[in-house]
Chains A and B, each alone.
Chain A
């Protein structure tokens, strides 16, 4: 069982559509991060959210951290083919605050 559950696992949409992907846990996190990973490359950090209820915007991407700091969502408005990739959430947990990653949502945006 993943500590951070991401849904959906796969999402295929047309250019211009809106979408939301989710990252859920039964554990409380001090912060959560979202990464995007393209095929054959390493993940790239998009945002870090640190306060319960926090909303951050990055152009067409809106990130929200749940009030209880157990979940987060990523909303993309008017998706573009360049948004295609694997979206990963991650957060520090445990004695050493090791980063724990979800399995990701693989997004495909068709032109």
Chain B
């Protein structure tokens, strides 16, 4: 299994509070991603990173920010959590050896289940 950990694994918070989720990898992969998974929607890309301090927005980036100060860590921050951000959040990693973009293998972490009351 790829070395990806997410913390915390479960969190309950209140509307309006800031929340930070951490993804840590031991694979030295260049690319890191944050997705959210909701019933009926599958996984949706929030933000991704293609290197230290290099990030870009995904499909559902509003209300989220990210930071990557080290290769191994990718942080997802909800500045002011809302109930619509209740979801399961997955981090994924990939390297650039999979050929064309979209054909690389993404390795997913175990997920963080977030409940915003």
Residues of A that sit less than 8 Å from B by CB = 2, 4, 29-31, 33, 40-45, 48, 50, 88, 90-92, 96-104
- Residue pair B101, A97 in contact (C-beta under 8 Å): yes
Please, how many angstroms separate the alpha-carbon atoms of A102 and B43 in the complex? 7
Kindly identify which residue among A41, A50, A88 contacts B110, using a CB–CB cutoff of 8 Å: A41
Please, how many angstroms separate the alpha-carbon atoms of A45 and B108 in the complex? 9
Interface string of B51-65 (1 = CB under 8 A from A): 000001011000000
Counting from the closest, the 8 A-B pairs by CB-CB distance are A92-B102, A42-B108, A101-B42, A101-B43, A103-B42, A97-B101, A98-B45, A31-B103
Contact-size category for B: 20 to 34
Residues of B that sit less than 8 Å from A by CB = 4, 33, 35, 39-45, 48, 56, 58-59, 90, 92, 98, 100-103, 105-111
Closest B residue to A50 by CB, please name it.
B103
In the bound complex, residues from chain B placing their C-beta under 8 Å from that of A101 are: 35, 42-44
In the bound complex, residues from chain A placing their C-beta under 8 Å from that of B59 are: 98, 100
Chain B nearest CB from A67 CB (Å) reads 19
Chain A nearest CB from B73 CB (Å) reads 18
- Residue pair A102, B42 in contact (C-beta under 8 Å): yes
- Residue pair B106, A45 in contact (C-beta under 8 Å): yes
- Residue pair B111, A42 in contact (C-beta under 8 Å): yes
Chain A nearest CB from B59 CB (Å) reads 6
In the bound complex, residues from chain A placing their C-beta under 8 Å from that of B45 are: 98-100
Kindly identify which residue among B41, B92, B101, B102 contacts A42, using a CB–CB cutoff of 8 Å: B92
Chain A nearest CB from B39 CB (Å) reads 8
- Residue pair A99, B42 in contact (C-beta under 8 Å): no
Chain A nearest CB from B115 CB (Å) reads 16
Closest A residue to B108 by CB, please name it.
A42
